[in-house]
Amino acid sequence: MAKQNRRRRTGRRPAAAGGLPVDAALSGDLPQVADAIATVAFLAAQGDTTALDRFAEQVAGADLAAGVQLAGARILARAFEFGWLPADIHEAARRRVDEFAAGYLTDLMAAHRLEFAAEAVDEIWQSQLDELGATVWWTAERSHLAQWTDRTLLTAPEALTAALTALALLIRLPKLEQILPLPGTAPRVAHHHVDEKTLGRVRGLLAKAESTSFAEEAEALSAKAQELMTKYAIDRALLDHGTTDHDLPAARRLWLDTPYTDAKALLVDMVTRANRCRAIFLADWGFVTIVGDDTDLDAVELLSTSLLVQATRAMIETTTTEESRSRHYRKAFLTAYAARIGERLTKATEATIAESPDPARLLPVLASHQQRVDKAFDTYFPTVRTKGITIRSEQGWDAGTEAADRARFDTY
């Protein structure tokens, strides 16, 4: 799998802990106040760990709400222009700041959404906001910051610090690929998702796989889910073949929880390959970007999420010795599990294709599809590099392989 290790692109060294723009913040001139707020957030983003608390103390009692709102709107717009989506910002916040700063960002995104008509916002973008519960709950009678302070039961300095923490996080976000149109830049387009009946069956199989205590049954249920998704993808590919579509295939991001993100990313990559997609891992932030058609991306998301749960459970079940509790063992286990599951998912996909009613007609269609995905991947990621995973536990590798081998894919 391709991998990205990006550094922040500011090219600047962390600022020294010097004077703060307090006079500008207290000037009463809105642009100056907003610039002062942005400057303090920038200092924090660049490593001045005391800037926020010092600033909040020095401006205590001042009404900076309008300046905070303006600075926040500008910095958030920059993050969106850098390719970050609402769900990405939420996931980054969940990992790097506290619940108050994360909540402030959700409100900031809700306010941003108000600027655009519904038909000018991509449906995936909107669905991400909906899942976050990003709504404008505050009234126009008072500033958002004042009402948010009351709602969170924070003091005014605490609320200001939390808001500035949120803005500092946005400033630290690196530039990503633009995988969805920005709100207001293009009319809404229809995404072709897997139909709800098929999704319901797949979700049911995966839910059973996650709940069973028998590894063989879990793997068989997962294999059946893969088979159903492959059959659906085949039908869709044959239906769409020959239609004119000048748009690139879609892309989505799947965030991974620590630890062992390298090994977990490999598991996602194995699922991705079995479902005619391509993946790239941004290690510094812990997410995988997947490129493919919407229906295939639906399959990757569902299967990857479930298999990550199953792999973790299988790993924990082997924890019976001191060696099996070590980081080296667990990383090796998950890596071996990913590699072996990838082989078996690929075989299941190939068998489903071979058993299709007209494989001779289907194979050229799938080859054409793969060319489109490869072209899109190269467009999104023109410069990538491959990096391997170092394994330091033979016992963990063997256990992970055995756990994946216990699957009985011929159960159905």
Pairing of strands 2-4, 385-386: antiparallel
Do 348 and 315 have their domain in common?
yes
Q: For residue 110, which of 72, 165, 161 has the smallest C-alpha distance?
A: 72
Do 203 and 138 have their domain in common?
no
Do 134 and 247 have their domain in common?
no
Summarised one tens digit per residue, pLDDT across range 254-274 is 999 999 999 999 999 999 999
Do 143 and 289 have their domain in common?
no
Do 20 and 61 have their domain in common?
yes
Do 294 and 394 have their domain in common?
yes
| Domain membership of residue 239 as a residue range | 196-405
Do 136 and 236 have their domain in common?
no
Looking at residue 17, its pLDDT comes to 41
Mean pLDDT along residues 300-304 = 93
Residue 405 has pLDDT above 80, yes or no: no
Mean pLDDT along residues 287-311 = 92
Confidence of residue 13 (pLDDT cuts 50, 70, 90): very low
**332 belongs to a structural domain:** yes
Do 117 and 213 have their domain in common?
no
- Burial of residue 113, with CB atoms counted within 10 A of its CB: 0-12 exposed, 13-18 middle, 19 or more buried: middle
Q: What whole-number percentage of the chain has pLDDT above 90?
A: 56
Summarised one tens digit per residue, pLDDT across range 61-111 is 999 999 999 999 999 999 999 999 999 999 999 999 999 999 999 999 999
Mean pLDDT along residues 182-196 = 82
Do 264 and 154 have their domain in common?
no
- Residue identified by tokens 């994360």 is 102
Among the candidates 172, 187, 208, a domain finishes at 172
Do 128 and 72 have their domain in common?
yes
Mean pLDDT along residues 9-36 = 76
**115 belongs to a structural domain:** yes
Do 35 and 166 have their domain in common?
yes
Residue 219 has pLDDT above 90, yes or no: no
Looking at residue 407, its pLDDT comes to 40
Mean pLDDT along residues 273-292 = 94
**Top-confidence residue, 384 or 261:** 261
**Residues 38/315, Cβ–Cβ less than 8 Å:** no
If one counts the domains in the chain, the total is 2
Residue type, 104: Y
Mean pLDDT along residues 181-209 = 86
- Residue identified by tokens 């500011």 is 10
pTM of the model: 0.84
Do 152 and 275 have their domain in common?
no
| Inter-CA distances, 204 with 233, 301, 313, Å | 19, 15, 19
In the DSSP assignment, the letter for residue 409 is T
Residue 229 has pLDDT above 90, yes or no: no
**410 belongs to a structural domain:** no
Among the candidates 172, 187, 204, a domain finishes at 172
